[in-house]
Structure 1
């Protein structure tokens, strides 16, 4: 039995899960420690960690070839190779993608000498990066009307914006490390969790503490070196990036910025190479390996979990796939159970974690909980929103459809995640409560306990 996933090209490390604690029925928080792979090998004698990249997979002969010339046979195989960054451009030395631990270390190295960087993207990595970087001016280019469009609506974005304009609070509680994987074969670079910046110094060469400028509704039009810009018709657009910079970015809003380097944080695509060559995997529209409700691909005895796969079973009305660390962990855990059940010829039902979408993380030092159809995904125009916002403390949004709670966004220490999770799962008719549902003078947690 084998697992193919990601890891370090120099020394193999594994992320060891400490005891988790249950936040609610579907939400967990836990600490993860990075330790040498020998720790797991000593604890589990049947586990072998192989430090090598995969060269080829032959599903007909049930073998995996590695670049160091070895061949491994398998009875069951699970592909957990994650996603790879969608870089703005390939091969440009001034464009850096942040996806794994190796690229995060390279980012730290470059940032230490930088006075200005341009960050392109509006997902989780970009949100964390622009908040954590100090000692460097940050130009943040987002294609949407508001920041964090993947996770929030415009109201939540406005709640968070003041955090970009203010100094970070002293002694802010670090985000817990929420990463987990097990492996037999490795690709370079272990995947990042939401706290990828913990343990590394994200400080530039300037004395400024925190300075972020957001450019909305724009994307990268072109990238020039200083010499290329001087020779191009765009040289008159350098006004926004006065001075001499290693690289310049022209945005689709017409502005051009000079900077030391560009961070491409524009999402990922399923990392299916080199598994497709010579095999007959069915792929989803997003390029992921199609898996059924037992995490099985179209090739016999081959399973997949995490960002590399696409869930192609009929989803619960309250769940959707998003390529997040929470779902990668859930899929990996469930895939392992499915493999064991199939080897033992035992039946297995779809895990409860796929009943309700749930995600807990931290942005801008605020705890963030997303539940169900948190942005009204697929609900149509007839759903209703209830919002409660206390500046600098909390932002709460509830999505109702037909009087029943279908999703929620909780930012801050609201202590409402368990109550709202139960209301979503129970599909209780909340019509009689109306806007009182978010009345701050009513202890809703005790009311629906």
Structure 2
């Protein structure tokens, strides 16, 4: 029977970050990464913007290429069928039975589809599903996008050459990340049909891309590794018409779908599928994109009654990323942070947090194997921080950027320059609690420090965002 000091299940950002961390911390120990996909997701081109905030690319590596880059890491492409935590063994579809000392579950999450087993409903979560989307979009005239998170927002902005019906349950777009004011700031780019300023042409992509043939994702209903930043930039996602047109249907959800219906859009075209919305409207389309979040891939481990799951289906982990089972850790989308959290940090299933959790799990696993009791929690869990791009703008989110957990007891300072920048500071009792920075503001480091230090800003008042004052000079 093969034996390893560490076994990691899952080849996404969390799993790969964990493997890389263990290879660095324990260069004499053997590590095994088990992934059902022929490619793994690795982080590259890391740019540290602040102590907690960094930009990076996600590159896809063939499993053998990743294994060759780290001498103590072995990779097998297989699917785990069971984990015997008492015997410390892992069994796979390929018939392997592997013994371990410490194991980390990094199986990620699967897209929540509005309708299962419907060929006209496509969830976008991993590289394989984006390839399917790329194939379908080439002959499409109209699609319906359901969801209001990051993938839906990026997709609506990036796709060209067809009509998009965007169905959202909120009163404004991108509600997962921004408030109505920021959504209004985005509105110009969202609705401008001739807008060509997409990420596909505005910046080079510094990553390798492998196309996998004959692979349709993981078995047992699990998808491949989650997408990283700029996931759309290496794909041809254009329809058959010039330009595009976006129609946003607010405060509505999908009631049902049918193959025959009288659409409310006055279109004479025939459509393979029709979407019935709760606002009474019916739209015909070529297919539906379901981008309504993810469900943690923890179900294959739920048969073990000692493994405690959170209400959202994720595996509960403590501040060391330990599960309820000894020697069993979890990181990334599959887990739920169940420790007493810092005032300005919360969990959101993003590729940035998957990387942070994977790296920290490696640190905790190495300490556990060495018998070290004291492990200092990573600084990244002190402050929620995320950087991405929406509608061509750089977007930085820090702390309680939408007033999360503040029960509406806060004030907001705003500075908006049309088509250039949107700055929102969340203030409570004179102290900064969060920030939304859209555009090239160069304020992320200052805002991070002010949130962490909880400096009383009452004396500055609205001058904090006075464009005639270089406020950064105050806090150097």
What's the TM-score once normalised by structure 2's chain length? 0.88
State whether residues 118 and 140 of structure 1, in contact with CA within 8 Å, keep that contact through their aligned partners in structure 2.
Answer: yes
Alignment of 1:288 with 2:314, yes or no, is: yes
More moved, 406-415 vs 48-57:
48-57
State whether residues 241 and 256 of structure 1, in contact with CA within 8 Å, keep that contact through their aligned partners in structure 2.
Answer: no
The structure-2 alpha-carbon separation of the partners of 1:363 and 1:406, relative to structure 1 and needing over 3 Å to count, comes to same
Alignment of 1:367 with 2:394, yes or no, is: yes
What's the TM-score once normalised by structure 1's chain length? 0.93
Per-residue CA deviations over 1:110-134 (Å, capped at 9, x if unaligned) read 0111100000000000000000111
**CA separation in 2, counterparts of 1:267 and 1:15?**
20
**CA separation in 1, counterparts of 2:334 and 2:344?**
22
Q: CA deviation at 1:144?
A: 0.2
More moved, 377-386 vs 273-282:
273-282
Q: CA deviation at 1:45?
A: 2.1
Q: CA deviation at 1:364?
A: 0.7
Alignment of 1:5-20 (within 5 A): 5-6=10-11, 12-20=38-46
Per-residue CA deviations over 1:296-330 (Å, capped at 9, x if unaligned) read 00011110001111100000011111111111100
Q: How many residues align?
A: 435
Secondary structure, counterpart of 2:83 in structure 1: strand
Q: Which residue of structure 2 aligns with residue 426 of structure 1? A: 453
Q: CA deviation at 1:264?
A: 0.3
Q: CA deviation at 1:85?
A: 0.7
* 245, 254, 274: which one aligns with 1:220: 254
**CA separation in 1, counterparts of 2:368 and 2:357?**
16
More moved, 272-281 vs 284-293:
272-281
Secondary structure, counterpart of 1:3 in structure 2: strand
Alignment of 1:4 with 2:9, yes or no, is: yes
Q: Which residue of structure 1 aligns with residue 142 of structure 2? A: 116
State whether residues 35 and 76 of structure 2, in contact with CA within 8 Å, keep that contact through their aligned partners in structure 1.
Answer: no
Structure 1 unaligned spans of 5+: 180-184, 230-234
**CA separation in 1, counterparts of 2:56 and 2:151?**
20
Secondary structure, counterpart of 1:18 in structure 2: strand
Secondary structure, counterpart of 2:76 in structure 1: coil
Alignment of 1:119-268 (within 5 A): 119-166=145-192, 167-169=195-197, 171-173=201-203, 188-206=223-241, 208-226=242-260, 229=261, 235=262, 237-268=263-294
**CA separation in 2, counterparts of 1:269 and 1:176?**
30
Per-residue CA deviations over 1:175-223 (Å, capped at 9, x if unaligned) read 777x9xxxxx9965221013111111001122x3121110000000110
The structure-2 alpha-carbon separation of the partners of 1:351 and 1:390, relative to structure 1 and needing over 3 Å to count, comes to same
Secondary structure, counterpart of 2:289 in structure 1: strand
Secondary structure, counterpart of 1:75 in structure 2: strand
Per-residue CA deviations over 1:33-86 (Å, capped at 9, x if unaligned) read 322222232232221111011212222221211112211121111001111111
Q: CA deviation at 1:19?
A: 4.6
The structure-2 alpha-carbon separation of the partners of 1:133 and 1:421, relative to structure 1 and needing over 3 Å to count, comes to same
**CA separation in 1, counterparts of 2:45 and 2:136?**
36
Per-residue CA deviations over 1:420-448 (Å, capped at 9, x if unaligned) read 11111110000011111000111112221
The structure-2 alpha-carbon separation of the partners of 1:239 and 1:416, relative to structure 1 and needing over 3 Å to count, comes to closer
Secondary structure, counterpart of 1:42 in structure 2: helix
* 31, 55, 68: which one aligns with 1:29: 55
Per-residue CA deviations over 1:132-158 (Å, capped at 9, x if unaligned) read 111111000000000011100000000
**CA separation in 2, counterparts of 1:241 and 1:77?**
55
* 417, 422, 431: which one aligns with 2:444: 417
Secondary structure, counterpart of 1:130 in structure 2: helix
**CA separation in 2, counterparts of 1:243 and 1:19?**
46
State whether residues 53 and 188 of structure 1, in contact with CA within 8 Å, keep that contact through their aligned partners in structure 2.
Answer: no
Secondary structure, counterpart of 1:193 in structure 2: coil
Structure 2 unaligned spans of 5+: 1-5, 13-33, 210-217
Q: CA RMSD in A?
A: 2.1
Q: CA deviation at 1:381?
A: 2.6
Q: Which residue of structure 2 aligns with residue 103 of structure 1? A: 129
Q: Which residue of structure 1 aligns with residue 95 of structure 2? A: 69
More moved, 6-15 vs 277-286:
6-15
Q: CA deviation at 1:382?
A: 2.1
The structure-2 alpha-carbon separation of the partners of 1:4 and 1:11, relative to structure 1 and needing over 3 Å to count, comes to closer
More moved, 332-341 vs 159-168:
159-168
